[in-house]
Amino acid sequence: MSSHPHLLSNVTLGALRLPNRVIMAPMTRNRARADGTVPPAYGEYFAQRSSAGLLITDATMTSPQAVGYPNTPGLWTEEQMESWRAVVNEVHAVGGLIALQLMHCGRISLEAWQPDKAMPVSSSPVRAATTMLRTPALAKGPAAEPRALELNEMPGVVAQFAQAARRGREAGFDAVEIQAADGYLIDQFLRDAVNRRHDRYGGSAENRSRFLLEVTEAVAKEFGADRTGVRLSPDGTYNDMRDNAPLDTFGTALRQLAALDLAWVHLGSMGDTDLCRRLRDVHGKPFMLNGDFTAESADATIRSELAIAISFGRAYIANPDLVERFEIDAPLNTPDPDTFHGGSAKGFTDYPLLQDVEIEEY
Ligand SMILES: Cc1cc2nc3c(=O)[nH]c(=O)nc-3n(C[C@H](O)[C@H](O)[C@H](O)COP(=O)(O)O)c2cc1C
C-alpha cells in the first residue's frame, strides 16, 4: 500500500490519533428529550458508527437561548452532561473517538423555543428568509424576528460556550467542534449580509470575526486547542446567508484561527472550489472537508492535499459500517430523508450492516 495519505490511512489531528480519515459529520437528528438530555439510543447510534476516524455529535446547544429546534441536545445542565457521559462511555467501550459539536442557533429559532417566549437573538435585527421546524409533527413555518445582542451580553454568550465545553470535557468527549457555519449565531456575526452592527463586532472582517475568535479562544482554553475544531461554511447559503467578499471575511477569520493552532478547521458543504483552494493557502494546511463526497472523490481530495480528512453526513445516517464498506468497495444503503429529523429507532439505529445483509442473502 502506498505511504501517501489516503482516505483510509491514519492521521493525527491535534492531540487525536485517528485510524482513518472518514469522519462522521455532525447531524441534528432531533431525538433528544424535551429537557435536552440524550436517551440511551444515542449511545447505540454512535457506537454502531465507531469505526469512523472520528464521530461528531449533533449540534448541542450551549444555553436555553441557543435552542432553535425541537428535541435537540444541550449541555447547560448536569443532567445533560450525565446523559452525554453515558453516550461517550459507550463509544469508548468499542474503541471510537467522539467530538462534541457546540452551537447557538441565534436567529434560526422561534419564540416558542426561547425562555419566557422571548425574541431570539442575532448580530442584528434581520429576520432569516427561511422556514423553521415546528412541532407537532415537525411542520415548517417562518423564522422569528430576532433582536440584536447588546454589547454587554456578549461576554455571557461566550462564557456559555466555555461552560458547555467544560461540561463536554467532564463528560469525556475526545474533542469539541464549534459550529460557526450554516447561518447560526457565529455565522450571523461573520457574514456581512446579516451583520449590520457598528460596534466592535460589526463592520470590518476583523470586527465580524471577533465573536468567533472569542468563542474559540474560550472553548480552547477549556478543552485545549489541540482538541478544538471549528466548522465554517464560506460559500454556504443555507439559512439565508450571504457574504459580499467571502475571501476577505473567511481569509481574515482563518488567519486569526491559524494562530490558535487548532486540531482542525472543517468546511461545510464545500468541494474542490477555487475559494476553497485560496482559503487553504491562507489557512496554511489542509481542511476537513464535507459535502456530497463519494469514497473516490474523498480519496482524491486527500491525495491532492486540499483535505486532511473528509466528513460524510447522509452516507453515515444510512451506513453505520461506512468505513468497512469503503474498505471493500461495497454498495451503500440509501438514506431515508423522512426519518432524518425526529421519531424513533426507525432510521436511527436500524440501518443494516453489510454483514447482516450478507447473512440474509446467504
Ligand atoms: C439530517 C441532517 C442534520 C444536520 N445537522 C447538522 C448539524 O447539527 N451540524 C452541522 O454542522 N451540520 C449539520 N448537517 C450538515 C451535515 O453535517 C453535512 O454538511 C451535510 O449532510 C452534507 O454532507 P453530505 O453530502 O455528506 O451529506 C446536517 C445534515 C443533515 C442531513
Per residue in 124-170, pLDDT (tens digit) is: 999 999 988 776 656 678 888 999 999 999 999 999 999 999 999 99
- Ligand 1 centroid – CA 269 distance (Å): 9
The ranges assigned to domains in the chain are 11-361
- Residue 356: exposure state from Cβ atoms within 10 A (0-12, 13-18, ≥19): exposed
- Ligand 1 centroid – CA 311 distance (Å): 9
The topology under which CATH files domain 11-361 is: TIM Barrel (3.20.20)
CA–CA distance, 68 with 1 (Å, rounded to integer): 47
Residue 1 has pLDDT above 60, yes or no: no
List the residue whose alpha carbon is closest to atom 6 of ligand 1: 27
Distances (CA, A) of 173 to 29, 71, 159, 302, 321: 19, 21, 19, 26, 21
Residue 135, pLDDT score: 66
List the residue whose alpha carbon is closest to atom 23 of ligand 1: 291
| Averaged pLDDT for residues 243-271 | 94
**253 in Cβ contact with 234 (< 8 Å):** no
The catalytic residues are 184
Tens of pLDDT, residue by residue over 293-352, are: 999 999 999 999 999 999 999 999 999 999 999 999 999 999 999 999 998 999 999 999
Tens of pLDDT, residue by residue over 321-335, are: 999 999 999 999 999
Residue 121, pLDDT score: 98
Q: Ligand 1: does its nearest atom lie under 6 Å from the Cβ of 31?
A: no
Tens of pLDDT, residue by residue over 74-132, are: 999 999 999 999 999 999 999 999 999 999 999 999 988 899 999 999 999 999 999 88
| Averaged pLDDT for residues 25-53 | 98
**The residue to which cell 440474509 is assigned:** 360
